[in-house]
Amino acid sequence: MPDQTLTKPLTKNICPQHKPPDIERYQDNGGYSGWRKALGMAPEDIVELVQKSGLRGRGGAGFNTGLKWSFVPRGKGSPSVKYLVCNADEMEPGTFKDRLLMEQNPHLLIEGMAIAAYAIEARTAYIFIRGEYHLAAVRLEQAINEARQAGLIGPDILNSGYSLEIYLHRSAGNYICGEETALLNALEGRRAIPRAKPPFPQVSGLWGKPTVVNNVETLCNIPHLIELGSEWYKSLGRCQDAGSKLFGVSGKVNKPGTWELPMGTPIREIIEEHAGGMRDGLKLKGFLPGGGSTDFLGPTDLDLPMDYDAIAKAGSRMGTGTIIVLDDHTCPVGLVLNLSQFFARESCGWCTPCRDGLPWVVEILTRIENGSGTPEDLDLLQEQVARMGPGNTFCALAPGAAEPLQSALRLFEEDFIDHIRKGRCPYR
C-alpha cells in the first residue's frame, strides 16, 4: 500500500476507534518535523513556498493561502505586533470536516499554526472555536499544553529565538463569526458584525494589528507541505487545484461521512463509492456541493470534479466541499425552508436585506410548505433573491442564504407549483 504520509497527510494519524495521538506518538509518526524544518527557514521563503504550492483556503473562499500571507506588512517600519487566528467556528450547515481534524489529530493543527505564525512573524495566535465543540476544545487545550511542555511553543522555541503563544477562545456561538472580520470583532469582545473592507485584516485586523485568519483544514495542510515540498503537494490533486481535501456527504446515503481524497475527485465517486450511494428505493434529486450556502446542482452534474473552478462554471461553489444530498422522497421546499430558518436566525442584523429579507423569505416559504401559498409568492421569492444578492449586503451571509433558494426555484420549480396548486406539501 502507498505511504499515507504521501497520499493522505491530513488523516494518516486518525483512527476513529482510538484516542488522538498524544505528542509522543505524534512525533514518533513524524509530527513536528515540518515545524523544526520551518524554524531553519526564512519566513518569507515559507510564504513563497506555500504560495507556489497552490494551496487554496479550505474554509470556502478558496483564496491562495500563501498570497494571503504575503499581504502582511513586513520589514522595516512594519508593525511589530501581528496575529494569527484559526477560524474553527464551523457552523456551515452540512459541514463537519474541521471537527474531525480537531478531535482526532489536534497536534496537526497546532503544528500548522506554529508554522503559519512564524511565516507571518506573529508571536500570538488564537483558535476561535465553535462553542458547541466541547470535545475538540478539550483535546486542543491538551495538545497546546503538551506542545508548550515540550518546548515546541512558548518562549524561545527550540533555542531559535522565536516565541509563540497559542490560546483557545470558545465562541459564544453565531454563524456570522465564520466571516473573518465578524470573528475578529467577537474575539475583541465586541458585537459580531462584519467590518468594512478595506482595510483588510492582513493590514489592520485584531486590535488594529496585521492579522491572518485561516481555516482549520487550511492550516493542517501546512506541516507536510513544508516537509515534503510544493511539487509533492501539487501531485496530490487530480486537477489544477493542488493537494488533498476532506470531502463529506450527508443526507440519505448508505454511508454518510467524510474522507480525505485528491482535489478534483468526481462527485459521482464521492457519493456512489465513498458514501455508498443512495439508500434503497431512493433516487438522487439534487445536491448542495459545498454546504448549505451553495447552489443546488442536479444528477447531470455528478461527473464534475470537485474543484473550485469546475463547480463555479456549473453555477455553484465548492465551498467547504461537504455535499448535502437531496433525494426524491424529501421535499425541496421544506429543505430550503429549513436552511432559510437557520440563516434568518443567524443574521447579525446589520443590514436590511439580511435582517428583514430573510425572515420574509421564511414567512413566504412557510406559507407555500403549509399549502397556503399563491403564484405571486414565487415572484416575491425571486424579488428577495435579487435583493439579497452580491453587492446589496454588507457581507456574504445573505447572498449565501439566497443561493439554495434561487437554485431550488430554478431546478425544482414544479415542486413549488405543486405545493401551490394542490394546497399542501405533496411529500407528506
Going by pLDDT thresholds of 50, 70 and 90, the confidence category of residue 321 is: very high
Going by pLDDT thresholds of 50, 70 and 90, the confidence category of residue 4 is: low
C-alpha cell at 4: 499515507
The one-letter amino acid code at 24 reads E
**Terminal CA-to-CA distance of the chain, rounded, Å?**
49
Going by pLDDT thresholds of 50, 70 and 90, the confidence category of residue 1 is: very low
Which candidate, 292, 288, 243, places its Cα nearest to that of 264?
243
pLDDT at 370: 95
Cβ-Cβ contacts under 8 Å for 247 (sequence gap 6 or more): 97, 258, 259, 260, 261, 265, 270, 274, 306, 321, 322, 323
For residues 36-75, b (16+ Cβ closer than 10 Å) or e, as one string? Answer: bebbeeebeebbbbbbbbbbbbbbbebebbbebbbebebe
pLDDT at 61: 83
**233/9 Cα distance (integer angstroms):** 10
Going by pLDDT thresholds of 50, 70 and 90, the confidence category of residue 2 is: very low
pLDDT tens digits, residue range 331-369? 999 999 999 999 999 999 889 999 999 999 999 999 999
Average pLDDT in the chain: 94
pLDDT at 5: 55
Tell me, letter by letter, the H, E, C secondary structure of the chain: CCCHHHHCCCCCCCCCCCCCCCHHHHHHCCCCHHHHHHHCCCHHHHHHHHHHHCCECCCCCCCEHHHHHHCCCCCCCCCCCCEEEEEECCCCCCCCHHHHHHHHCHHHHHHHHHHHHHHHCCCEEEEEECCCCHHHHHHHHHHHHHHHHCCCCECCHHHCCCCEEEEEEECCCCHHHHCHHHHHHHHCCCCCCCCCCCCCCCCCCHHHCCEEEEEHHHHHCHHHHHHHCHHHHHHCCCCCCCCEEEEEEECCECCCEEEEEECCCEHHHHHHHHCCCECCCCCEEEEEECECCCCCECHHHCCCECCHHHHHHCCCCCCCCEEEEEECCCCHHHHHHHHHHHHHHHCCCCCHHHHCHHHHHHHHHHHHHCCCCCHHHHHHHHHHHHHCCCCCCCCCHHHHHHHHHHHHHHHCHHHHHHHHHHCCCCCC
Domains in the chain, CATH or no CATH each:
4-235 (3.40.50.11540), 244-327 (3.10.20.600), 332-422 (1.20.1440.230)
pLDDT tens digits, residue range 168-205? 999 987 899 989 999 999 999 999 999 998 999 999 99
The pTM of the full predicted model, rounded to 2 decimals, is: 0.94
Q: What percent of the chain has pLDDT over 70?
A: 99
Within a 10 A sphere around the Cβ of 376, how many other Cβ atoms?
A: 10
pLDDT tens digits, residue range 260-276? 999 999 999 999 999 99
pLDDT at 267: 98
- Mean pLDDT to the nearest integer, 411-419: 97
* Contact of 245 with 321, CB cutoff 8 Å: yes
pLDDT tens digits, residue range 220-247? 999 999 999 999 999 999 888 889 999 9
